[in-house]
Chains A and B, each alone.
Chain A
Amino acid sequence: MTRLGGIALVAAVVLALVLPQFLKGYGLYLISMWAVLTIAVLGLNLTLGYAGQVSLAQGAFVGIGAYTVALLMQAGWPFPLTFICAALLCFGIGWGLGYPALRVQHHYLAFITLAFNTLVFLLLRNEEWLTHGIYGVTGIMRPVLIGWSTGKPLDYYYFCVSMLTLVAGGLWWMIRSPWGRAFVALRENPIRALSLGLDTRRYTLMAFAIGSSLGGVSGALYAPLVQFIEPNSFALGLSFNLLLMLIVGGSGYFFGPFLGALVAVLLPEWLRVTQSYYLIAYAAAVMLMMAFCPSGLCGLLGRVAKALRSNRAAGAAAPALQGERTHP
């Protein structure tokens, strides 16, 4: 990482720790939501950005995670246990969803995962004995962790951010491990990866399972944050939004999900001055972005940084610096 990037990262971390002290209820809710959504997008980034497996079902996993936590807590289970259950359940289901990916790719996979998402939505809506149907689950308590009550918005924000830090740290390590390399190989050229002796079958399934379990983790934090969940929150729209966040931030870039989720959470608030037209403005912004910078904000920042550097290094016959990611 460059010096400029390092400074930006430190500034962002300080901001994430200090800024909330000055925020009130709704602001805290928004940045907590940012942390929660970022975890889901990080998972999608692993599945789609690094391993190249198109998934339109991340919203369903957020839903499964949220319902698992909400229902088990209602049954009197302690939060940490329900949290682990949510992650494991999504890991298992995600593993299963990976099997179609062994047979079909690209748009076919997109539609299978899309169908899966709608099936999960129908189950959440129709199986009233389990999920209370359209009435949803209300009164989800914020957890008490080893004597630390996260009932206040500020405390819950710090809890979410520490979970985000844990997840991000784990992913940072994983992407640099042989596993991460294998995922990228899967994206860039699966047949070549296979012929080099990589167990593509196992890595495809793993990419789905880990990405999905992060969706579950995100849902597990989402339920206590909003304290009321209903099936409509986890319909296709959420999956589309998560995908949008990933692409807007920069798919396949480590920091893409952080930026993408930030834009998705803040932009509608800033565009509130446009009143009911804000969704139109948001959609138009996304289309413009895709036309002019399809590698997302991270790609845009990378381009700017590269231009700055090549200005500075003008004259010195340095070879062109490559970004962190080579594009397919």
Chain B
Amino acid sequence: MASFIQLLVSGLATGAIYALIAVGFTLLWQTSQTINFAQGEFVMLPAFFVLAAMNFGAPFWLAALIAVALSIIILGLIFKFVIVDPMLKHGVLPLVISTIALSLFLKESAKDFYSSQAQPFPALVSPIDLHFLGAVISVQSLAVLAVAVASVLTLHLVLNNTRLGRMMQATAQNPILARILGVPVRRMVLYTFLINGILVAIASILISPIYLAKFTNGETLGMAAFLAAIIGGFNQVRGAILGGIILGVLDNLSAAYVSSQYRAAFPLIILIVVILWRPQGLLGRVEERTV
């Protein structure tokens, strides 16, 4: 029971980070039909921004702010205007190829221009363990969980309870109608890219103390984001949150209780079952087919 609680808490913490990444992923998909195969690398990169800023002598909090700003500019603005916009008119597949190439580009750049070695990354809080019903719970997991939940909740509130958020939702659901109703659709699409930039930066700062900052981090994280997004529902922010949490918890529990060799297989099997049984995801809406 004690180890179960331990696994559950750390699973929730990673799950919350997956949820952050997956939410950004689904936002881009909803507003601009971008399947971002480089999302994992987007999470890998800001950690190196932090480290680079700290090498220049910035304290951690300042470095984190610089990393968020850089990732808004590079992974939000530049990504949208240089990579996505010129490709949109060509349809989904060329953009998929382009983001696959981008993921390679970012990964190799991090390796060549920073380091191919895993870099230690400062933790948010000091490594203290709490004892609770015999279980050992690290404060770090709790802090990660708190920050991730707070970020997702803030986003959820913004999207549902503000005028701006509702305009963004209108853009996602029906861009033509939204434009007719006077929503500045282009600006809303841009905002989703900027929000994605913030989300990946937060995720990066949260996960790097656990996984270390390494140029290959994107591979597993990107995959986790896709899986979470699809399991929960590609077209719903709520779905991505649920998908991320399920994935994180399941990953930890299955590794401990079923088979550590096949831990990577369980999410995939769930994915296949979900797609075949409920293609729109657990919380998703059905998308109409066009003839």
Residues on A facing B (Cβ under 8 Å): 54, 100, 103-104, 106-108, 110-112, 114-116, 118-119, 122, 126, 189, 191-192, 240, 243-244, 247, 251, 276-277, 279-280, 282-284, 286-287, 290-291, 294, 328
B275 touches A283 (CB 8 A): no
B35 touches A (CB below 8 Å): yes
* A114–B234 CA distance with the chains assembled, in angstroms: 16
**Bound: A191/B290 CA distance, A:** 9
A276 to B95, CA, bound (A): 26
Residue in B97, B261, B272 whose CB lies within 8 Å of A244: B97
A126-B279 contact in complex given A115-B271, A240-B100, A280-B105, C-beta closer than 8 Å: no
Interface centre among A126, A286, A294 (most CB of B within 10 A): A294
Whether A287 contacts B105 in the complex (CB less than 8 A), given A119-B268, A122-B264, A126-B262, comes out as yes
Please determine whether A107 and B95 come into contact, CB atoms closer than 8 angstroms. Answer: no
Q: A100-B276, A115-B271 are in contact. Are A290 and B264 (CB under 8 A)?
A: no
Q: Which residue of B lies closest to A105 (CB)?
A: B289
Answer yes or no: B256 CB below 8 A from chain A CBs.
no
CA distance A108 to B277 in the complex (A): 12
Main secondary structure, interface of B, reads helix
* CB-contact partner of A247 in B93, B112, B264, under 8 A: B93
Which residues of the partner chain B approach A277 to less than 8 Å between Cβ atoms? 108, 112
Q: Which of B4-12, B83-91, B140-148 contacts A (4 or more CB under 8 A)?
A: B83-91
Given contacts A103-B279, A107-B35, A111-B275, contact A283 B90 (CB under 8 A): no
Instruction: Please pick, from A118, A189, A244, the residue contacting B264 in the complex, using a CB distance under 8 A.
Output: A118
Residue of B nearest to A48 (CB): B93
**Are A276 and B112 CB-contacts (below 8 A) given A115-B268, A115-B272?**
yes
Please pick, from B93, B101, B227, the residue contacting A287 in the complex, using a CB distance under 8 A: B101
Min C-beta distance of A285 to chain B, whole Å: 8
Known: A111-B275, A115-B271, A118-B268. Is A286-B262 also a contact (CB below 8 A)?
Answer: no
Chain B contacts with A in 198-235, Cβ cutoff 8 A = 223, 226-227, 230, 234
Q: List 28 A-B contacts (CB under 8 A).
A: A103-B279, A107-B35, A107-B234, A108-B275, A110-B35, A112-B271, A112-B275, A114-B226, A115-B269, A115-B271, A118-B268, A119-B265, A119-B269, A122-B262, A192-B291, A243-B97, A243-B100, A244-B100, A247-B93, A247-B94, A251-B93, A279-B108, A283-B102, A283-B104, A287-B105, A290-B97, A291-B83, A328-B91
Return the chain A residue nearest B29 by Cβ: A107
Known: A111-B226, A126-B262, A243-B97. 5 other contacts (CB 8 A): A111-B271, A116-B272, A244-B101, A280-B109, A294-B87
Instruction: Compute how far the CA of A159 lies from the CA of B197 in the bound complex, rounded to whole angstroms.
Output: 51
Q: Contact at B97–A286, with CB atoms within 8 Å?
A: yes
A322 to B109, CA, bound (A): 41
State in angstroms the CA–CA spacing of A294 and B91 once bound together.
Answer: 9
Q: How many residues of B contact A (CB 8 A)?
A: 39
B169 within 8 A of A: no
Q: Does B150 contact A (CB under 8 A)?
A: no
- CB-CB under 8 A from A54, the residues of chain B are 93
Separation in Å of the B120 CB from the closest CB of chain A? 24
CA of A112 to CA of B274, assembled, Å: 10
Q: How far is the CA of A100 from the CA of B90 in the complex (A)?
A: 26
Q: How many A-B residue pairs have CB under 8 A?
A: 102
Q: Check if A104 sits within 8 Å of B279, measured CB to CB.
A: yes
Q: Is the interface of A mostly helix, strand, loop or mixed?
A: helix
A114 surroundings in chain B (CB, below 8 A): 226
Q: A66 → chain B, closest Cβ, in Å?
A: 21
Given A118-B264, A192-B291, A277-B112: A100 and B272 interface contact (C-beta under 8 Å): yes
Residue of A with least CB distance to B96:
A110
A78 to chain B, nearest CB (A): 34
Q: Which of B101, B112, B275, B289 has the most CB of A within 10 A?
A: B101
Q: Which residues on B sit within 8 Å (CB–CB) of A283?
A: 101-102, 104-105, 108
| B98 contacts chain A at the CB level, 8 A cutoff | yes
Indicate the member of A103, A115, A119, A291 with the most B CB atoms within 10 Å.
Answer: A115
Q: Verify B275–A286 contact, CB threshold 8 A.
A: no
A240 to B93, CA, bound (A): 12
A114 to B104 alpha-carbon distance, docked (Å):
17
Rounded to whole Å, the gap between the CB of B76 and the closest CB of chain A is 17
What is the CA–CA distance of A59 and B126 in the complex, to the nearest angstrom?
A: 44
The chain B residue sitting closest to A278, CB to CB, is B108
Candidate in B102, B223, B227, B268 with the most chain A CB atoms within 10 angstroms = B268
What residues of B have a CB within 8 angstroms of the CB of A122 in the complex?
Answer: 261-262, 264-265
